[in-house]
Amino acid sequence: MVTPPSSPQPQPQPQPVDPDSEVTAAERTARRPLHLQPRLIVWVASGGVLGAAARIGVIHLSPAPAGFPLATFVVNVVGAFVLGLLLQGLSDAGPDEGRRRLARLWAGTGFCGAFTTYSSFAVDTDELLRAGQLGLALAYVAATLMLGAAATLAGVAAAGLRRRRSV
């Protein structure tokens, strides 16, 4: 005699968290995605304030030789290096949690995110094109992209060298 297949048992559905339950506010906050945690938003914003201030300082101190947007070029390439160095160094140090996560959010997302500027890069390129400086615009785009990538790799390599020296 053949036994009929049993029907699958329904799986229990997760229940919503009861606000009167034993779950603490800290546990509820820890379950939220990072971008919805107020403490981390403030952390990123504080890094961003300093990154933007640093970018403005570089812009005010840097000349624009022959119309070349040197300040934007410098902040983007330097920011790419710092971000490569930071992220590789944090990755080598362990999982993205605790102080490493805070460092990534503050320095990487906040500071470097505000220090570097894609929007100014795009506006500078557009201004060069509107001024009829096609060659300079193409050189600016190519140099920014190539040196930015090279700077990122150099930052990663520098973090790797530091790690090997400390072992």
H/E run at residue 153: helix 134-166
| CA atoms of 77 and 66, how far apart (whole Å) | 20
Longest dimension (CA), the chain: 92
Contact (Cβ atoms closer than 8 angstroms) between residue 148 and residue 115: no
Contact (Cβ atoms closer than 8 angstroms) between residue 44 and residue 106: yes
Burial class (CB in 10 A: 0-12, 13-18, 19+), 40: buried
Annotated binding-site residue? 113: yes
Contact (Cβ atoms closer than 8 angstroms) between residue 43 and residue 102: yes
Annotated binding-site residue? 116: yes
Please identify which residue in the block is written with the tokens 């193409």. 138
Task: Indicate the annotated binding residues for Na(+).
Answer: 113, 116
Task: Indicate the annotated binding residues.
Answer: 113, 116
